[in-house]
Amino acid sequence: MEDGTLLMGAVAYDPKVVTIWDGFRRWFAQNGLTFDYVLYSNYERQAEDLLAGRIHAAWNSPLAWVRSRRLAAAGGPRVRALVMRDTDCDLTSVVAVRADSPLNELADLRGRVVGTGAVDSPQATLLPLSLLRHHGLEPGVDVDVRRFDIGVGLHGDHIGGERDAARALVTGEVDAACMIDANHLLFTKEGTLGAGSTRVIAQTPPFDHCNMTVVHGAPADLVERFARLLLSMDYADPDVRPLLDLEGLTRWVPGRVTGYPALEQAVDETGFYDDKGMVTAVDYRP
């Protein structure tokens, strides 16, 4: 990787990923940065390749950030969050029930069935179930958990698990369903959840989602130009706007790590990774 190219990793959770980063590559070239990307089928290999120096940057899920940070702390090269989307900051997940349900608070879920997304979804599994624990409900003991393992390895980027949990809520297969608040709105808009058919009985504290993680040792001039160009993207630019729409943002913002402690705690509660970043979840195989 000494040819003056900034090499980034991205996970192919949807065909649009190719459209997005092909478009960004052309725009970067027009603005003086030689850029290329490598697609991965799962975040675990992407995090490992980042720490091994095979790529300079990784478009990381929040869970992949947690793993990258732990791999780095265990003796790997340092990593940092370079940039984020404006839409990655201060998100929440919700626990929803049917509008006609007798359930009104988390305590009412004792002895009930809760639907979640995939095993590795921060927003639809790890964080909501951590919220239950903090309210005295141990998943699998005080509440039954029905997990919808769609797109395992994609860290919840494939929202099929959340959508299936929502559908199960509609049909009465589960008493409550966990999802990110934006998807609760999306599922209502698209008709998966009928308008007014559900109520939110609990909401997580705010958390952050994805970030562009860079590894220490990547060429500093390339990383600086990469960050400067991302932060300069203007939603009013007709060449850029369609790409930003596909990627779900209106502007890039400087990276921060203050929105991840709750996920770090959820990872520890479940033993998803150990403190060195090794995968220790017994039922997770990306």
pLDDT in tens, 74-130: 999 999 999 999 999 999 999 999 999 999 999 999 999 999 999 999 999 999 999
Sign of the CA dihedral 142, 143, 147, 153?
Answer: negative
Nearest to 158 by CA among 113, 111, 118: 118
Residue 2 has pLDDT above 90, yes or no: no
Q: What SS3 class is residue 45?
A: helix
Q: Which two tokens stand for residue 229?
A: 């160009």
Beta bridge partners of 286: none
Which pLDDT belongs to residue 14? Answer: 94
| Structural contact between residues 182 and 70, judged by C-beta atoms closer than 8 angstroms | no
Q: What SS3 class is residue 127?
A: helix
Single-letter code of the amino acid located at 69: R
pLDDT in tens, 6-49: 999 999 999 999 999 999 999 999 999 999 999 999 999 999 99
| Average pLDDT rounded to a whole number, residues 271-286 | 95
Separation between Cα atoms, residue 99 and residue 105, nearest integer Å: 13
pLDDT in tens, 149-189: 999 999 999 999 999 999 999 999 999 999 999 999 999 99
- Indicate the pTM of the whole model: 0.95
Q: Which domains does the chain have, with CATH numbers?
A: 6-88+208-270 (3.40.190.10), 93-203 (3.40.190.10)
